[in-house]
Chain A
Amino acid sequence: MNYNVNEKGYYGDFGGAFIPEMLYPNVAELRNNYLEITRRADFKKEFENLLKVYVGRPTPLYFASRLSKKYKTKIYLKREDLCHTGAHKVNNTIGQILLAKRLGKNRIIAETGAGQHGVATATVCALMGIECIVYMGELDIHRQAPNVARMKMLGAEVRSAKSGSKTLKDATNEAIRDWINNPIDTHYIIGSVVGPHPYPDMVARFQSVISEETKWQLEEQEGRDYPNHVIACVGGGSNAAGLYYHYLNDERVNIIAIEAAGKGIDSGQSAATSALGKEGIIHGSKTLLMQSSDGQITEPYSISAGLDYPGVGPMHAHLFRSKRAEFISIPDQEAMDWGLTLSQTEGIIPAIETAHAFAVLDVRKFGPEEIIVFNCSGRGDKDLSTYIDYFKL
């Protein structure tokens, strides 16, 4: 089976572009150009150079010796938390801003939940001197004040999404509506492997630098370029898509996706889409999503704002349905505890999203000779106030 997108924009049963006609020209322009532009030598040169000198790539592939000893297996961390702005998100925003420039766009819009993608977008817009408008749910604006301030410092305008549940999904709706209203001069930088084709594929390609580096870094350190397991947390799924990308069709590599169980899968306060979701349409993509029996999209919950998206990208829906990937969900409490464990075992304070992934070590056995690569997708600075409240630090 092939786990990449097909020529019609589908991953198995999932994907496509279920968009209103008003968006058709925008999305068609992107679809018709993204592969050609990103394959051009001048694009590659500029993209790779910025990843190197601006983002700080390659990020280390770090052998976590104390953690490995504790769990009697070989654990590597792909240090995306060391990227400029503190997470993998910037890999994608650099790629998309360079694409937007080549498409002649002079206005950028983005959606953001916790604010990480908003900050990464505001950053590249400042870098390029392009106008930037970030839609953020009214509730999230209050919950994530430091990132709102960062975006403002970077010169972006943060617009409050007041519709629906006033969170990430509504911010995404508002960004899409803005794009409908501004079809000519505007590019919409989606932050995850979600949305209509070609977004899931395009974002996965920009993030694929993660597994591209992992391959040669593993070769250097282990004498082979593949691990036994790749493990990442999945909200929409962009950091996971990046880590899986070059291993998708390599059956030697087991893929593990970690979702947020929130307060428990059956608690009514969860973001475990693989367990709770049904096939449907969200933000222009056919995928698995959390919804009522009447087809109304429901509001997910997780203690980490980056994982509370009511769907997953279509690639992940396909990996789940085809059983190519194992999906495991981790409740708030275990994730929070792993925030401390990783900090005190390896001296790395992870984002709460990232901490979810590590909790798999307590629920699943790995052999002593097995090599595991975790995507250490983001750093914990943005979550300090949550950690402080939770642990009474």
Chain B
Amino acid sequence: MNRIDKKFKEDKKLLSIYFSAGHPKLEDTLTILEKLESSGVDMVEIGLPFSDPLADGPTIQKSSTQALRNGMTTRKLFSQLENVREKIKIPLVIMGYLNPMMQYGIEKFCQNCQKIGIDGLIIPDLPVDVYHESYKSLFQKYGLYNMFLITPQTPETRINYIDKVSNGFIYMVSSASVTGAKDKFGSPQTDYFNRIAKMKLSTPTVVGFGISNSETYLTAIKHSSGAIIGSAFIKFLEKEGVENIGSFISSIR
């Protein structure tokens, strides 16, 4: 069974963390993963940095740019993660844009993910229909899940379609926005969370974008299976450093 499915079978709400691989320092990747797991984080999205991250706000743009400057590449990330499963047991997802994966070679990319023990991918600029037509069989061949996004603007019929073709979880973007922290969620967000909860989708939903603290985390998980924190974690890393990761996680839950 895919580690992601196993995780959702546990009777608890997920806390998932995103970080840009290669940031703050090039070789921080494994340390960050270890600290996150030992702090009780349930799943991690490892960001593969890209020069032109369309869906990301200023914080993740900046961390991606810094990671690239530090020398992060697809090849480098795979070599850092080569033995990651000797230590890390929680589900690991690589989140990145399509172009660097294409240049690496999609099949080779998938093959390497399987070899290392990556459980799934999130590729914001790979639309669900293109995935279905051109990539699905390849991802399945290497046991990789591919997670899709939905937003408050996604029509109900499309949500149902995405639910049908999804595995792992559906990434529920909290509001019409690029990534970035918000202090609190207003009623448009909670209405949207409620609306999606009432659809009783067969795939678990995890809320992301705009989750920054305990308050937004608790609101997000009320009507979903979990939540993802990215920008707020990256800001914390920049300020407080890798060694204090535990205190960030305990401030959330």
Q: How far is it, in angstroms, between the C-alpha of A17 and the C-alpha of B130 when the chains are bound?
A: 9
How does the 8 Å CB contact mask read for A271-302 relative to B, with 1 for contact and 0 for none?
A: 00000001111111000000101111100000
In this assembly, does A155 line the interface, its C-beta being within 8 Å of a C-beta of chain B?
no
How does the 8 Å CB contact mask read for B95-128 relative to A, with 1 for contact and 0 for none?
A: 0011111111000000000000000000011111
> Which A3-51 residues sit within 8 Å CB-CB of chain B?
16-22, 24-25
Cross-interface CB contact of A173 among B54, B104, B149, cutoff 8 Å: B54
B72: min CB distance to chain A, Å:
9
In this assembly, does B237 line the interface, its C-beta being within 8 Å of a C-beta of chain A?
no
A176 nearest in chain B by CB position? B54
Residues of chain A having any CB pair with chain B under 8 Å: 16-22, 24-25, 163-164, 169-170, 173, 176-177, 180-184, 278-284, 291, 293-297
Q: How far is it, in angstroms, between the C-alpha of A170 and the C-alpha of B54 when the chains are bound?
A: 9
Residues in B with CB closer than 8 Å to A18 are 98, 125-127, 130
B124 nearest in chain A by CB position? A20
Cross-interface CB contact of A16 among B54, B68, B130, B148, cutoff 8 Å: B130
A375: min CB distance to chain B, Å:
29
In this assembly, does B65 line the interface, its C-beta being within 8 Å of a C-beta of chain A?
yes
Residues in B with CB closer than 8 Å to A291 are 99, 103
- Asked if B149 contacts A22 (CB within 8 A), the reply is yes
Additional A-B contact list (6), CB under 8 Å, known A279-B102, A284-B54: A21-B128, A22-B149, A180-B55, A278-B103, A295-B100, A296-B100
Residues of chain B having any CB pair with chain A under 8 Å: 50-55, 57-58, 61-62, 65, 68, 73-75, 97-104, 124-128, 130, 148-151, 153-155, 158, 173, 176-178
- Asked if B97 contacts A281 (CB within 8 A), the reply is yes
B209 nearest in chain A by CB position? A22
- Asked if B125 contacts A284 (CB within 8 A), the reply is yes
B153 nearest in chain A by CB position? A25
With contact pairs A22-B173, A164-B65 given, residues A295 and B153 touching in the complex (Cβ less than 8 Å): no
With contact pairs A280-B99, A284-B125 given, residues A295 and B74 touching in the complex (Cβ less than 8 Å): yes
- Asked if B61 contacts A294 (CB within 8 A), the reply is no
- Asked if A183 contacts B103 (CB within 8 A), the reply is no
With contact pairs A181-B178, A280-B99 given, residues A164 and B54 touching in the complex (Cβ less than 8 Å): no
Residues in A with CB closer than 8 Å to B58 are 163
